[in-house]
Amino acid sequence: MWIYLTKRLLSLLPVLLGITLLVFAFLHLIPGDPAVVLSGERATPEQLASLRTQLGLDQPLPLQYLAFLGNLLRFNLGNSIISGIPIAHEIQTRLPASFELTVSAMLVALVLGIPAGVLAAVQKNRWLDNLTMSSSLIGVSLPVYWLGLLLVYLFAVNLHWLPPSGRLSVEAGFNFQPITGFYVLDALLRLDWRTLADVLVHLVLPALTLGTIPLAIIARITRSAMLEVLSQDYIRTARAKGVPEFRVFFQHALKNALLPVSTVTGLQFGSLLGSAILTETIFAWPGIGSWIYDGILARDYPVVQGGVIFVSIAFVLINLLVDLSYALLDPRIQY
Amino acid sequence: MGMGIEKKLGKSPFRLFGISAICAIVPFGCTPATNLGTSSSPSSLAPNQSGVLVYGSGGSPVNLEPGNITDGNSIIVQDQIYNRLIEIKPGTTDLVPGLAAEWSVSTDGKTWTFKLRQGVKFHDGTDFNAEAVKFNIERWWDPNQPQGYRNEGKIYEIWQQMFGGYKGDPNSLLQDVKVVDTSTIQLRLKQPFAAFPAAIASGFYGIASPTAIKKAGANYGKPGSLAIGTGAFVFKEWRTGDRVVLEKNPHYWRTGLPKTNQLVIRFITDPAARLAQLRAGQIDFTVDLAPDQIKELQADPNLESVPRPSFNVGYLALNPSYAPLAKPEVRQAIAQALNQQAIVKAFWGNLGQNDAHFLPPSLSWATTLSLQPYSFNPPQAKQLLAKAGYPNGFPLELWYMPVSRPYYPTPKPIAESFAADLSAIGIRVTLKTKDWAAYLEDRRKAPGYQAFMMGWTGDFGDPDSFLYAHFGPGGTSDIGNWKNDRVFQLLNQARATSDQTARGKLYAEVDELLHQQALRLPIVHAQPLGAKRKNITGWVPSPLGTEPFESVEKK
């Protein structure tokens, strides 16, 4: 186990190095520089030159990259060009919001996706199966941006059932002092039920929006994994022994079908941290995604670099955790 | 209901956790019961009636430190916290006293004396006086001022852009700053600059508490730090990426203001999301909606559209260093070939105005009002072309910006309309674009683009902010370093003349010359679109882009 873990961690190094190189190259090789974006229509060539010197943009690219790597090794992601705020601090401040949203979206996906997949497998090729699978096809294909706005217009603007965006209503915000930044947890710690309710209603629409794609994927994977397991000999044996269908599905089959589902769940969880960019922007969610979005628009190099590298590392680490979890889910696997 | 849960669960922390886990797993299963079921709970779903004024901003401020930032989302918050020496009459570009009760200039036009308001205090209780003003100005201007924290990356570049340079720089307009007594300060300039009061009245130059700046150091104005001014609202909290919370300044020197006790500024980047928030009643007023959202806005009986007076110009630049465009007749022909009125109507509706002037309508005192825009007349345009030696037209590369700007919300289709109109007189247009940063930069690299779309929003309420930057020395590198001695002379003379009527005449002559030259064809003065809920009164948007909300009230 420990040898495996060490090997895996070492093999991450080139991956991470590759990520930093790619992110750096993409940002710096596209035309135009942030000094121009910062000054907008206003800048004259002399002012641009002095601004570039101050931002360190007049250095050759390889030197800029080495400086960037050196800082990274010291866990220094630099400061935002525009606000001057340290990237690490910004990530720390915004991570709880993104994490809370991602967990909620994954819960939506799992709680709805697994039963839907099981149902579809059980009802294979019947109308329920067709309905579930075609809805999940739609779910995978829906543009998040469009779906988010649609939900907002339906549930917030027209029906007034749910708030259209944000993490907390204005009123709740006045008296609520976060402790950890995870608002659900903070409201619980403070035994503040009104705020808890407020926080949870604010989570519904963004979590549904962000959860739609993983929901659809999980439903489809669960279905196919279930179908495969259901054709195994031991299921026939169980049925022959007279085990009730319900127990066959949930006790014998589902447990064994969960392995591929857990892989996909891990992958989706990692990618949600990054793909929340659009969802967070539509829902004015103060997380990492909306921050990266603003950074891209403003061409704030350190913000985009820091944000993307952080999300990539999180993705890689989550995948490692998923791999390790196989040993727990399947006793036959040993590292 | 909230109380009920609390009671039932008793004291066991484990039970609490159980409920939380269930709520977390089924977020929408738990919440309606606890929220909707309680009539006394502050429901977040009904329109916000709490008396708290909520403004939907187009994004997060970058920081709340005056003089160090120019983006509108920062300035709108700073406008609430700080006062400037000179301020702006709501809805106009007229100057009114701010922290300076009066101001005057010496006969040589170089020394400006400001008499400061007495008895004003900063939100931290310290005194506002001439020393405080000197401290603020020197931070922006003097690279060696210790509390400028330039070694920590602060730049104050807008000062350099507006006033020529920093202290010690030969181009610096400012010569020195002198405290005459506690309520009088003098700024000596190297050359006369009549627009100086308008420039120092721009939203960038709020006066902050020196004590607070010394206390907070380089972090001043960042989230979690301080932002202390003399303005109508006191800074209370900044939640990163989410909101700024402000409270009424009970000692505000403008008596009877502000009209609201609490002001919350929420950051909502996406215009569609902002409008949804407004319609759902979660915010009370907002700005920077897209022109095509006006229909949705007007269809909602609870909302009103609030167009901001235009303070911009969207223009089509014709670069005379491209041989066919060297003759003014050819450029005039292009002006006549474009159906400008129809284009503006089509893309801006009632939110755009096409006229003959580079200056926006709010600066009409500096224009020749009788000047008419070039009328749409393709046959005459064709004749002009033929006379200039291009009977069969010529090829033209026309550049359009890849991003939406307030003055050109949808550049590409607008460029296509230009191209269609020009092809009717034989000009064969190739449309081009590139990344925005490169677009901005490369237009100034010789020989520059042949023709390009660009625009400008004024930095301060004076014609100088538009005309000097585009037609003065150093402002024409994107139109082949075009140079006109008479225009340069008039612009410099206007800088040295303090009488507004006399300045108006000088600028009016510039206006006529520019019209005849047709180098940067003014296509539109666009009105940014704001909106509010019907129960909001007292909001008068400023042409300059941001305004204090001290008179805004929720009925």
* String of DSSP letters for B327-367: SHHHHHHHHHHS-HHHHHHHHHGGGEE--S-SS-GGGGGGS
- Count CA atoms closer than 13 A to B477's CA, side-chain side: 15
Please check whether residue B538 is in contact with residue B551, taking contact to mean a CB–CB distance below 8 angstroms.
yes
> Tell me: the pLDDT tens digits for B327-367?
999 999 999 999 999 999 999 999 999 999 999 999 999 99
- Phi and psi (nearest 5°) for A129? -60, -50
* Contact assignment for B269 to A284 by CB distance below 8 Å: yes
* Contact assignment for B280 to A93 by CB distance below 8 Å: no
> Tell me: the pLDDT tens digits for A241-281?
888 888 888 778 888 888 888 888 888 887 787 668 889 99
What does the angle CA A174 – CA A177 – CA A179 come to, to the nearest 5 degrees? 160
Give a yes or no: residue A83 inside a domain.
Answer: no
* Contact assignment for A166 to B245 by CB distance below 8 Å: no
Q: Report the gap between the CA of A96 and the closest CA in chain B (Å).
A: 12
How many domains in chain A? 2
Interface contacts A/B by beta carbons within 8 Å: 225
Please check whether residue B466 is in contact with residue B511, taking contact to mean a CB–CB distance below 8 angstroms.
no
Predicted pLDDT at B155: 83
A100 and A69 inside one domain: no
A63 and A115 inside one domain: no
Task: Tell whether the model's pLDDT for residue B16 goes beyond 50.
Answer: no
Mean pLDDT for B171-187 is: 97
Give a yes or no: residue A78 inside a domain.
Answer: no
Report the distance separating Cα B490 and Cα B294, nearest Å: 41
Report the distance separating Cα A61 and Cα A77, nearest Å: 17
Comparing CB atoms, the residue among A37, A163, A202 nearest residue B437 is A37
A28 and A100 inside one domain: no
A201 at B interface, C-beta within 8 A: yes
Higher pLDDT, A325 or A98: A98
Predicted pLDDT at A57: 76
Residue of chain A whose Cα is closest to the Cα of B277: A164
Report the distance separating Cα B427 and Cα B414, nearest Å: 17
- Which residue(s) pair with B451 in the sheet? B318, B398
* Contact assignment for A188 to B239 by CB distance below 8 Å: no
Residue where a domain terminates, one of A26, A42, A73: A73
- Phi and psi (nearest 5°) for B82? -115, 155
Predicted pLDDT at A335: 66
Predicted pLDDT at B318: 97
Give a yes or no: residue A108 inside a domain.
Answer: yes
What does the angle CA B74 – CA B80 – CA B287 come to, to the nearest 5 degrees? 60
Task: Tell whether the model's pLDDT for residue B316 goes beyond 70.
Answer: yes
* Contact assignment for B282 to A171 by CB distance below 8 Å: no
A15 and A107 inside one domain: no
Task: Tell whether the model's pLDDT for residue B145 goes beyond 80.
Answer: yes
Chain B contact set for A107 (CB, 8 A): 24-27
Predicted pLDDT at B187: 98
Q: Which of A225, A214, A212, A217 is nearest to A118 (CA)?
A: A225
Predicted pLDDT at A320: 84
Higher pLDDT, B412 or B11: B412
Residue of chain B whose Cα is closest to the Cα of A169: B44
Task: Tell whether the model's pLDDT for residue B25 goes beyond 60.
Answer: no
A219 and A169 inside one domain: yes
Q: Which of A225-234, B239-248, B504-513 has the lowest mean pLDDT?
A: A225-234
Report the distance separating Cα A14 and Cα A18, nearest Å: 6
E-strand stretches of B49-127: 53-57, 86-88, 95-97, 100-105, 111-116
Q: Name the helix (H) or strand (E) containing B417.
A: helix B411-423
Give a yes or no: residue A136 inside a domain.
Answer: yes
Q: How far is CA A207 from CA A29, A144, A147, B219, B447, in A?
A: 35, 11, 12, 35, 52
Mean pLDDT for B188-213 is: 96
Q: What is the mean pLDDT of chain B?
A: 89
Q: Name the helix (H) or strand (E) containing B136.
A: helix B130-141
Residues in chain B: 555
* Contact assignment for B42 to A172 by CB distance below 8 Å: yes
Please check whether residue B415 is in contact with residue B400, taking contact to mean a CB–CB distance below 8 angstroms.
yes
Report the distance separating Cα B362 and Cα B461, nearest Å: 9
Task: Tell whether the model's pLDDT for residue B410 goes beyond 50.
Answer: yes
Please check whether residue A223 is in contact with residue A133, taking contact to mean a CB–CB distance below 8 angstroms.
yes
Please check whether residue B525 is in contact with residue B355, taking contact to mean a CB–CB distance below 8 angstroms.
yes
Longest dimension (CA), chain A: 86
Predicted pLDDT at B44: 43
Give a yes or no: residue A221 inside a domain.
Answer: yes
Mean pLDDT for A120-142 is: 86
Burial class (CB in 10 A: 0-12, 13-18, 19+), A199: buried
Q: How far is CA B272 from CA A42, A263, B40, B293, in A?
A: 29, 36, 31, 8
Residues 6+ apart with CB under 8 A from A131: none
Collapsed DSSP state (helix, strand, coil) of residue B381 = helix
Q: Which of B99, B102, B103, B114 is nearest to B208 (CA)?
A: B99
Task: Tell whether the model's pLDDT for residue B12 goes beyond 50.
Answer: no
A188 and A46 inside one domain: no
* Contact assignment for A34 to B437 by CB distance below 8 Å: yes
A64 and A129 inside one domain: no
For A150, the domain range is 95-329
Instruction: Find the DSSP H helices in B170-243.
Output: 196-200, 210-216
**Other beta carbons within 10 Å of B498:** 18
A139 and A230 inside one domain: yes
* Joined tokens for residue B388: 């200039």
Report the distance separating Cα B192 and Cα B492, nearest Å: 9
Give a yes or no: residue A218 inside a domain.
Answer: yes
Comparing CB atoms, the residue among B20, B160, B438 nearest residue A32 is B438
Residue of chain A whose Cα is closest to the Cα of B263: A170
Chain B contact set for A94 (CB, 8 A): 240-241
Report the distance separating Cα B217 and Cα A324, nearest Å: 47
Comparing CB atoms, the residue among B35, B273, B469 nearest residue A201 is B35
Residue of chain A whose Cα is closest to the Cα of B33: A197
Task: Tell whether the model's pLDDT for residue B59 goes beyond 80.
Answer: yes
Please check whether residue A64 is in contact with residue A56, taking contact to mean a CB–CB distance below 8 angstroms.
yes
Chain A contact set for B38 (CB, 8 A): 194
Comparing CB atoms, the residue among B241, B437, B459 nearest residue A33 is B437
For residue B40, what pLDDT band results from cuts at 50, 70 and 90?
very low
* Contact assignment for B42 to A169 by CB distance below 8 Å: yes
Q: Report the gap between the CA of B277 and the closest CA in chain A (Å).
A: 6
Give the DSSP letter of residue B133: H
Task: Tell whether the model's pLDDT for residue B191 goes beyond 70.
Answer: yes
* CA dihedral over B50, B56, B61, B67, signed as positive or negative: negative
A105 and A56 inside one domain: no
* Contact assignment for B282 to A45 by CB distance below 8 Å: no
Residue of chain B whose Cα is closest to the Cα of A36: B437
> Tell me: the pLDDT tens digits for A36-56?
766 666 666 676 777 777 667
A113 and A61 inside one domain: no
Higher pLDDT, B542 or A40: B542
Report the distance separating Cα A173 and Cα B403, nearest Å: 35
For residue B87, what pLDDT band results from cuts at 50, 70 and 90?
very high
Burial class (CB in 10 A: 0-12, 13-18, 19+), A214: buried
Report the distance separating Cα B429 and Cα B422, nearest Å: 7
Give a yes or no: residue A114 inside a domain.
Answer: yes
The full DSSP string for A237-261 is: HHHHTT--HHHIIIIIIHHHHHHHH
Q: Which of A50-64, B97-111, B464-478 has the lowest mean pLDDT?
A: A50-64
Give a yes or no: residue A142 inside a domain.
Answer: yes
Task: Tell whether the model's pLDDT for residue B378 goes beyond 90.
Answer: yes
Give the DSSP letter of residue A306: H
* Joined tokens for residue B114: 């400001």
What is the dihedral angle through the alpha carbons of B419, B424, B426, B431, rounded to the nearest 10 degrees?
Answer: 10
Q: Calculate what percentage of chain A has a pLDDT beyond 90.
A: 30
Predicted pLDDT at A32: 65
Task: Tell whether the model's pLDDT for residue B13 goes beyond 60.
Answer: no
Q: Report the gap between the CA of B381 and the closest CA in chain A (Å).
A: 31
Report the distance separating Cα B166 and Cα A317, nearest Å: 49
Task: Tell whether the model's pLDDT for residue A115 goes beyond 80.
Answer: yes
A122 and A263 inside one domain: yes
| ipTM topping 0.85 | no
Q: How far is CA B170 from CA A49, B54, B156, B166, B399, in A?
A: 17, 46, 17, 9, 36
> Tell me: the pLDDT tens digits for B421-479?
999 999 999 999 988 878 888 898 888 999 999 999 998 999 999 999 899 988 899 99
A284 at B interface, C-beta within 8 A: yes
Q: Which of B29-38, B84-93, B118-127, B265-274 has the lowest mean pLDDT?
A: B29-38
Comparing CB atoms, the residue among B20, B152, B282 nearest residue A184 is B20
* CA dihedral over B449, B454, B460, B463, signed as positive or negative: positive
Predicted pLDDT at A4: 81
Say which CATH number the domain at A269 has.
Answer: 1.10.3720.10
What is the dihedral angle through the alpha carbons of B403, B407, B412, B413, rounded to the nearest 10 degrees?
Answer: 150
Chain A contact set for B41 (CB, 8 A): 194, 197
Task: Tell whether the model's pLDDT for residue A237 goes beyond 50.
Answer: yes
Report the distance separating Cα B543 and Cα B72, nearest Å: 12
A195 and A131 inside one domain: yes
Q: Which of B535, B526, B529 is nearest to B305 (CA)?
A: B529
Predicted pLDDT at B3: 35
Task: Tell whether the model's pLDDT for residue B22 goes beyond 80.
Answer: no
Mean pLDDT for B286-312 is: 94
Residues 6+ apart with CB under 8 A from B130: B116, B179, B180, B181, B182, B183, B184, B185
- Which residue(s) pair with B235 in the sheet? B246
A72 at B interface, C-beta within 8 A: no
Task: Tell whether the model's pLDDT for residue B240 goes beyond 70.
Answer: yes
Q: Report the gap between the CA of B391 and the closest CA in chain A (Å).
A: 36
For residue A96, what pLDDT band results from cuts at 50, 70 and 90?
very high
CA B379 to chain centre: 40
Please check whether residue B75 is in contact with residue B545, taking contact to mean a CB–CB distance below 8 angstroms.
yes
Given strand B395-399, what is the order of strands in its sheet?
Answer: B352-353, B520-526, B312-318, B451-457, B395-399, B428-432
Q: Which of B240, B28, B43, B29 is nearest to A203 (CA)?
A: B28
Chain B contact set for A202 (CB, 8 A): 44
- Which residue(s) pair with B520 in the sheet? B317
Predicted pLDDT at B232: 97
